[in-house]
Amino acid sequence: MKKNISIHLKVWRQKDANSKGKMVSHTVNGVNPDMSFLEMLDTLNEDLIKKGEEPLEFDNDCREGICGMCGLVINGTAHGPNSGTTTCELRMREFQNGDTIIVEPWRAKAFPIIKDLVVDRQSFDRIISKGGYISIRVGNAPEATSILVAKENADLAMDAAACIGCGACVAACPNSSASLFTSAKISQLRLLPQGEPERNRRALNMVFQMDEELFGNCSNHAECQAVCPKSVSITHIARMRREYLKAAIKYVD
Amino acid sequence: MKLDSKIPSGPLSEKWDKHKFDINVVNPKNKRKFTIIVVGTGLGGASAAASLGELGYRVKNFCIQDSPRRAHSIGAQGGINAAKNYQNDGDSVWRLFYDTIKGGDYRAREANVYRLAQNSNNIIDQAVAQGVPFAREYGGLFANRSFGGALVSRTFYARGQTGQQLLLGAYSSLMAQVHAGSVQIFPREEMVDLVLIQGKARGIITRNLRTGEFNAHTADAVVLATGGYGTAYYLSTLAMNSNASAIWRAHKKGAFFGNPCYVQIHPTCIPRSGDYQSKLTLMSESLRNDGRVWVPKNKGDKRPPSQIPEGDRDYYLERKYPTFGNMVPRDVASRNAKEVCDDGRGIGDTGLAVYLDFKNAIADFGRKTIEERYGNLFEMYHLITDEDAYKTPMRIFPAVHYSMGGLWVDYNLMTTVPGLHVIGEANFSDHGANRLGASALMQGLSDGYFVIPYTIGGYLGGASLEKISSEDDAFKNALASSKGKFEKLLSIKGNKTVKEFHRDLGQILWDKVGMARNEKGLKEAIKEIPKLREEFWQNVKVAGEAETLNKNLEFAARVGDYLELGELMARDALNRRESCGGHFRIESQTEEGEALRNDEKFTYVSAWEFKKASNWELHKEPLIFENVTLTQRSYK
Ligand SMILES: Cc1cc2nc3c(=O)[nH]c(=O)nc-3n(C[C@H](O)[C@H](O)[C@H](O)COP(=O)(O)OP(=O)(O)OC[C@H]3O[C@@H](n4cnc5c(N)ncnc54)[C@H](O)[C@@H]3O)c2cc1C
Ligand code: FES
């Protein structure tokens, strides 16, 4: 059996959207290296509850890297030190006994803090609602094999579709841009023949909404790609730009 | 009250079409006048809300997560079944129907399962049209695989993320309707009670999870798509926020609960590593295609696996089931793992695990092939356990995975409360006593896209619905009592945390209402759970305040409900003195130790009516089989 370790935490605590927040220190003892990062925070919370203090609020659900609900900035990096993983997939064996870990929420104007480490990401839903879909009514769908898709395109579309909407890309970007998120959807639907009819409207409307939500512009830092737990590539941003430009030219009157 | 399943007359293959013609159709002009509440945004909820919105109804759609896209369905890995027969291997609607009804150990309705198989093909068309990137072959057509021991390749998949892609497809249609103005979404808003007026479901009470505010929402019909109750066991493969509170509140308002004891325990999960464990991770059961399951022959053999020679190993599945070997169905594999661990031959620190060994497969096919087949799973295993499964065998153990039981619904997916409908994992229909792999996604989407949009019209078109308002007494009272309940939880200020209570309940359920059940254990559980419940309401310690985001408080309320449902699960298991599917009664087995059904006595659905605390009345819906012959499963 592995030896348990102790961890010092400096975490962001903020009562609600309107209050001011601050960093608070906590120590967690008896941390098993096989624990997940979130189980370490569970352990802290059990201690706090037993002491009659308020537990730390953080979002999570699936705890296996697919729902996109979790998301913490750990020692300055969105989702922590390992690439291609979410916060919930991080294990405590990545840390040493006595380490101090700094834990903060996603920080962006478009993601206001609700409490402690929990932020509001409904701006993402609004971007999707402006065109992140193919308008097909139930009952109207043609036989599936009538739409052929080359394996290469299906695979590329799947790479883009792997986005879990966690928002790490925004948290990591110096401009708080949502370009990686938005482009992943535009790109997925661009790569499939089903997406063709609404192609122009989609690019224009989704990009418009992204700006409306106070996300910043992309200036090619590529920090988003580095922290993306699903390794979504910035080539999708390039595709989004092309789509947007083509659409904008078409619609100039 | 007499249960009426409302199964249409006529030949099996014509029932659904005939029914669609017979039920009321709401005039398009009138649809806008109806408000429908859909609780849940998983495959069931999102597909229903989107389709109802498209039809012109006003829809209000609720979920616990911060976005509808994050519902538990997102985690499904393996795939979705459909009877397309694209592989030309002899599949058909009939075969999918037959496999599903047999897999459910003949404890589901023929008519429902047949409709499910019929709809399966439409689901694939719909998903593809939405842009779901199913795996393709070079020619541009679909790649399919055989799943969970099926003899045909009927499973569609999108890498290991099929649930994600199908849910994002449904979510995108949902967001299109949000944009069109027909659907309004309410994320982070939890249903805490159902409101009835003149016996009909007319709305819900919710708690806004950011602000703690209670709200009343009125409607003409309510659809629950709130998922399964596997987290009653504390540890399970389900997402952390999964819960039974919505269906439990509805149950207490009059909706009968169907087959609560039918729970599926999945054999290939990563074992728990300590008390801190918060959930269990499923490993695709495709691993059993190549992995060999074994434990040491001798009790207490603590040597590392590499030092245990072949002669000292017991490949117990291959030994007991020479024909199916490691590929026996989920329940058989799970129960056998439990048996060898109970026998003191379990491995690892806890003794609660068995080996899944790829050594022979790597020797036969080469490491590269195994990497191609399971690379991502081996990686996930490494991430979690820090072990390299190419070099040392995996450790696996069964975990609670799916609840076949749920609220009882008729063929229209309506409960015993008029106007209250239940879809997806939250209802009891379609899977009988055991669910086959890749069938839950199919059911959620069939219910949401292709059943409820028609059947709810049948209800709304025929019901006389009086004018109501959220100021009516029924709403005011329900709101006050919900608020009171949450205040009560905070005011107890006891000594034991919510998590400690949840863990205790989970332990009772796992030990006594788990993989193998007997009269003695079930009777103990029926005594222990109410005792724990009593203690909970006197001694629970809930942190924080009511008027902010407070997850501890949310969980307290959900555990409070599980402490009631847990008792009913045990009572149902005690009543059913037969073994079927996921429900194994030790008293009912063949001489060889296999599950033994008792068709004469138990070919019925148990539908429980809530009377008062610890008091239910059992109603029976007989299951009538006109098209298939009941056979005993055998995997020898
Ligand atoms: C790890 C894993 C892998 C799986 N793999 C497969 C597979 O390969 N193939 C397959 O067919 N099946 C699979 N399943 C099963 C399948 O994923 C589920 O049965 C299915 O997704 C359930 O969908 P649902 O729509 O019924 O509910 P869910 O997806 O569970 O959604 C429930 C919804 O209800 C909401 N909700 C719950 N309570 C409330 C409340 N009180 N108020 C407001 N909202 C509420 C939640 O927020 C959520 O939106 C898998 C399951 C697991 C756990
Ligand atoms: S909790 Fe779902 S991705 Fe981390």
- Assigned architecture for domain A122-252: Orthogonal Bundle (1.10)
The whole-number pLDDT of residue B149 equals 72
The number of helix segments (H) and strand segments (E) in chain A equals 8, 7
Query: At which of B401, B424, B458 does a domain end?
Result: B401
Same topology between domain A5-104 and domain A122-252:
no
Do the domain assignments include residue B72? no
Give the burial string for A158-186 (b: 16+ CB within 10 Å, else e): bbbbbbbbbbbbbbbbeebbbbbbbbbbb
pLDDT, tens only, B624-634: 999 999 998 77
The whole-number pLDDT of residue B216 equals 98
Do the domain assignments include residue B580? yes
Q: Are A110 and A215 in contact (CB under 8 A)?
A: yes
Do the domain assignments include residue B19? no
pLDDT confidence of A1, banded at 50, 70, 90? Answer: low
- C-alpha–C-alpha distance, residues B32 and A112, integer Å: 35
pLDDT, tens only, B554-569: 999 999 999 999 999 9
pLDDT, tens only, A107-159: 999 999 999 999 999 999 999 999 999 999 998 899 999 999 999 999 999 99
Distance of residue B402 Cα from the nearest chain A Cα, in angstroms: 15
B373 catalytic? Reply is no
Q: What is the DSSP string of A228-247?
A: -TT---THHHHHHHHHHHHH
Share of chain B above pLDDT 90, in %: 92
Do the domain assignments include residue B119? no
| Most B CBs within 10 Å, among A48, A92, A128, A187, to test the B interface | A128
Atom of ligand 2 nearest to the CA of A61: 1
- The interface predicted TM-score of the complex, written ipTM, equals 0.98
- C-alpha–C-alpha distance, residues B240 and B225, integer Å: 17
Chain mean pLDDT for chain B: 96
Residue for token digits 């008390």? B275
* Ligand 2 contacts CB of residue A156 (under 6 A): no
For residue B468, give the nearest of B215, B218, B182 by alpha carbon: B218
- C-alpha–C-alpha distance, residues B129 and B172, integer Å: 12
Torsion of CA B35, B39, B44, B50, to 10 degrees: 40
Judged by CB atoms within 8 Å, which residues 220-249 of A form the interface with B? none
Give the closest residue (by CA) to ligand 1 atom 2. B76
In this prediction, residues B174-196 reach a mean pLDDT of 98
> Does the beta carbon of A18 lie under 8 angstroms from any beta carbon of chain B?
no
* Ligand 2 contacts CB of residue A63 (under 6 A): yes
Q: Are B607 and B408 in contact (CB under 8 A)?
A: yes
- C-alpha–C-alpha distance, residues B407 and B115, integer Å: 19
In this prediction, residues A68-75 reach a mean pLDDT of 98
Q: Are A172 and A78 in contact (CB under 8 A)?
A: yes
- Widest distance between CA atoms in chain A: 71
- C-alpha–C-alpha distance, residues B439 and B601, integer Å: 28
pLDDT, tens only, B368-425: 999 988 888 899 999 999 999 999 999 999 999 999 999 999 999 999 999 999 999 9
Q: Are B205 and B216 in contact (CB under 8 A)?
A: yes
Q: Please state the domain extents for chain A.
A: 5-104, 122-252
**Distances from the Cα of B167 to the Cαs of B163, B172, B440, in angstroms?**
6, 8, 13
Q: What is the DSSP string of B402-450?
A: EE--EE---TTSB-SSTTEEE-GGGB--SSTTSPPTT-HHHHHHIIIII
All residues of chain A having their beta carbon less than 8 Å from the beta carbon of residue B453 are 138
Minimum-distance ligand to the CA of A168?
2
Give the closest residue (by CA) to ligand 1 atom 53. B238
Q: Which of B69, B107, B288, B330 is catalytic?
A: B330
Judged by CB atoms within 8 Å, which residues 544-603 of B form the interface with A? 544-545, 548-552
Residue B521's domain comprises 478-620
- Specify burial of residue B9 (Cβ count, 10 A radius: 0-12, 13-18, 19+): exposed
pLDDT, tens only, B121-138: 999 999 999 999 999 999
Q: How far apart are the first and last CA of chain A?
A: 71
- Widest distance between CA atoms in chain B: 76
> Does the beta carbon of B126 lie under 8 angstroms from any beta carbon of chain A?
yes
Q: Which token pair is B257? A: 């609960």
Q: Which token pair is A246? A: 């083509």
| Most B CBs within 10 Å, among A129, A130, A209, A231, to test the B interface | A129
- C-alpha–C-alpha distance, residues B16 and B384, integer Å: 46
- C-alpha–C-alpha distance, residues B609 and B523, integer Å: 20
Give the burial string for B157-177 (b: 16+ CB within 10 Å, else e): bbbbbbbbbbbbbbbbbbbbb
In this prediction, residues B187-197 reach a mean pLDDT of 98
Are the beta carbons of B552 and A189 separated by less than 8 Å? no
In this prediction, residues A76-91 reach a mean pLDDT of 97
CATH number where B295 lies? 3.90.700.10
Give the closest residue (by CA) to ligand 2 atom 3. A65
Looking at the fold, whether B395 and B486 belong to one and the same domain comes out as: no
pLDDT, tens only, B90-116: 999 999 999 999 999 999 999 999 999
- C-alpha–C-alpha distance, residues B158 and A230, integer Å: 15
Cα(B282) to ligand 2 centroid in Å equals: 15
> What secondary structure letter does DSSP report for B140?
S
Q: Are B225 and B42 in contact (CB under 8 A)?
A: yes
Q: CA angle, B511 as apex, B505 and B512 as ends, to 5°?
A: 90
pLDDT confidence of A95, banded at 50, 70, 90? Answer: very high
Chain centroid to CA B492 = 32
Do the domain assignments include residue B437? no
Q: Does the pLDDT of residue B160 top 90, yes or no?
A: no
Does B492 or B284 have the greater pLDDT score?
A: B492
In this prediction, residues B40-47 reach a mean pLDDT of 98
> Does the beta carbon of A202 lie under 8 angstroms from any beta carbon of chain B?
no
The whole-number pLDDT of residue B150 equals 82
For residue A66, give the nearest of B426, B74, B181 by alpha carbon: B74
For residue B287, give the nearest of B375, B227, B204, B191 by alpha carbon: B375
Q: Which token pair is B341? A: 């661990």
- C-alpha–C-alpha distance, residues A177 and A179, integer Å: 5
Distance of residue A51 Cα from the nearest chain B Cα, in angstroms: 10
Q: Are B152 and B146 in contact (CB under 8 A)?
A: yes
Strand duo A100-104 + A73-74: pairing:
antiparallel
Share of chain A above pLDDT 70, in %: 99
At A162 the three-state DSSP class reads: coil
Neighbours of B22 (CB within 10 A): 10
**Distances from the Cα of B540 to the Cαs of A41, B244, B326, in angstroms?**
21, 20, 44
Share of chain B above pLDDT 70, in %: 100
Q: Are A134 and B172 in contact (CB under 8 A)?
A: yes
Q: CA angle, A190 as apex, A188 and A195 as ends, to 5°?
A: 100
- C-alpha–C-alpha distance, residues B401 and B279, integer Å: 11
**Given ligand 2 and candidates A37, A66, A85, A106, which is best to mutate, with the most ligand atoms within 8 Å of its CB?**
A66
Give the closest residue (by CA) to ligand 1 atom 27. B227
> What secondary structure letter does DSSP report for A79?
T
The model's pTM is 0.98
pLDDT confidence of B524, banded at 50, 70, 90? Answer: very high
**Letter for the amino acid at B42?**
G
- C-alpha–C-alpha distance, residues A133 and A202, integer Å: 8
**Distances from the Cα of A227 to the Cαs of A11, A89, A93, A103, B377, in angstroms?**
20, 13, 20, 16, 22
Distance of residue B514 Cα from the nearest chain A Cα, in angstroms: 23
Paired with B37 in beta bridges are B60, B222
- C-alpha–C-alpha distance, residues B518 and B521, integer Å: 6
Q: How far apart are the first and last CA of chain B?
A: 44
- C-alpha–C-alpha distance, residues A233 and A191, integer Å: 14
The whole-number pLDDT of residue A253 equals 46
Task: Number of A to B CB contacts under 8 A, please give it.
Answer: 212
At B264 the three-state DSSP class reads: strand
Helix residue ranges per DSSP H, B240-366: 245-252, 316-320, 330-342, 359-365
**Distances from the Cα of A54 to the Cαs of A49, A105, B546, in angstroms?**
6, 17, 12
Residue for token digits 């991430």? B383
In this prediction, residues A85-105 reach a mean pLDDT of 98
For residue B592, give the nearest of B538, B549, B634, B530 by alpha carbon: B634
The whole-number pLDDT of residue A252 equals 60
- C-alpha–C-alpha distance, residues A195 and A187, integer Å: 10
Partner residue opposite B131 with nearest CB, options A139, A145, A192: A192
Q: How many domains is chain B built from?
A: 2
Looking at the fold, whether B392 and B503 belong to one and the same domain comes out as: no
CATH number where B561 lies? 1.20.58.100
Are the beta carbons of A69 and B173 separated by less than 8 Å? no
pLDDT, tens only, B276-326: 999 999 998 889 989 999 999 999 999 999 999 999 999 999 999 998 899
Are the beta carbons of B128 and A93 separated by less than 8 Å? no
Place domain A5-104 in its CATH homologous superfamily: Beta-grasp domain (3.10.20.30)
> Does the beta carbon of A51 lie under 8 angstroms from any beta carbon of chain B?
no
Listed in order, strand segments (DSSP E) in B63-199 are: 80-81, 144-145, 155-156, 183-186, 189-197
- C-alpha–C-alpha distance, residues A246 and B576, integer Å: 66
Helix residue ranges per DSSP H, chain A: 37-50, 122-129, 151-161, 168-172, 179-190, 199-212, 223-227, 235-251
